[in-house]
């Protein structure tokens, strides 16, 4: 099923970076819609609090530690996910780090490499490992940003631009399996990462992450809005 009549009840969905911010909001929304969740993060204590909320909503949850800077951790996480579920009807690649901001031409090379390892390279590795587990006609959401390719955002902007390019490539390569690969830009949200990037901003002037989950849910339900969508414009005529 697709569109408003579709359901996520019983769908197995992976959410990376689910311990806080947008990932936590997505996990809680999916739980409320009946999905069965596989949640990853590096901070398992914080992730356990999200798990508690999801279980309170009636969702089954599997927690998997994941450090995207470590190839061994990525491989171990993929193996753990494969043991936990026979397939995934949905994947939300939300994990990421901000890294140092500034002109990419002067950003420390080591810091750039560390940021790209989380925001792009580790994500490519995880998706490669999970590809056999992702069901035909599944939805795959790559969480992007207004910073993608934007001057002054250093390795974060470079990583998000790379992630969007990855989405375009996988969208074509997996089209024969009916897999929808969509980059979702949530826009400004009231998160710790946003506060780090914009310390001068009043958090009350931006919406909470829970107000930006609608396009993610729609893609996982079967909607294909195209390769990239703006969450802030979702549902507007």
- Tokens 């969450």 appear where? 231
From 12, 156, 161, 216, the catalytic residue: 156
Of the candidates 95, 177, 87, 90, which has an alpha carbon nearest to the alpha carbon of residue 140? 90
Residue 153 annotated to the active site: no
Backbone angles phi, psi at 152, to 5 degrees: 95, -10
- Please give the C-alpha separations between residue 116 and each of 148, 157, 171, in angstroms, as whole numbers: 13, 10, 21
Of the candidates 227, 204, 208, which has an alpha carbon nearest to the alpha carbon of residue 25? 208
Contact between residue 77 and residue 14 where contact means Cβ atoms under 8 Å apart: no
Residue 94 to residue 21: CA distance in whole angstroms: 10
What are the DSSP calls for 138-200, one per residue?
EEEEEE--TTTT-TTBHHHHHHHHHHHHHHHHHHHHTGGGT-EEEEEE--S-SSHHHHHH-TT
How many whole angstroms from its chain centre is CA 21?
Answer: 11
Question: Among all residues, which ones are annotated catalytic?
Answer: 156
């Amino acid at each position: 099923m697709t569109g408003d009549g579709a359901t996520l009840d019983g769908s197995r969905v992976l959410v990376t970076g689910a311990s806080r911010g947008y990932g936590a909001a997505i996990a809680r929304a999916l739980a409320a819609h009946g999905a069965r969740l596989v949640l990853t993060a590096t901070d398992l204590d914080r992730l356990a609090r999200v798990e508690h909320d999801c279980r309170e909503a009636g969702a089954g949850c599997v927690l998997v530690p994941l450090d995207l800077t470590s190839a061994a951790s990525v491989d171990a996480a993929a193996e753990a996910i494969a043991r936990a579920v026979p397939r995934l009807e949905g994947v939300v690649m939300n994990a990421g780090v901000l890294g140092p901001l500034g002109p990419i031409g002067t950003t420390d090379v080591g810091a750039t490499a560390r940021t790209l390892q989380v925001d792009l390279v580790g994500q490519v590795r995880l998706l490669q490992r999970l590809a056999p587990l992702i069901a035909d006609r599944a939805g795959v959401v790559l969480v992007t940003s207004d910073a993608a390719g934007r001057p002054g955002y250093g390795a974060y902007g470079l990583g998000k631009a790379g992630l969007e390019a990855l989405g375009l490539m996988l969208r074509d390569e997996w089209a024969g399996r009916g897999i929808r690969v969509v980059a979702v830009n949530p826009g400004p949200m009231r998160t710790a990462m946003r506060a780090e990037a914009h310390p001068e901003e009043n958090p009350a002037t931006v919406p909470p992450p829970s107000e930006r989950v609608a396009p993610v849910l729609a893609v996982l339900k079967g909607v294909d809005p195209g390769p990239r969508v703006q969450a802030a414009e979702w549902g507007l005529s």
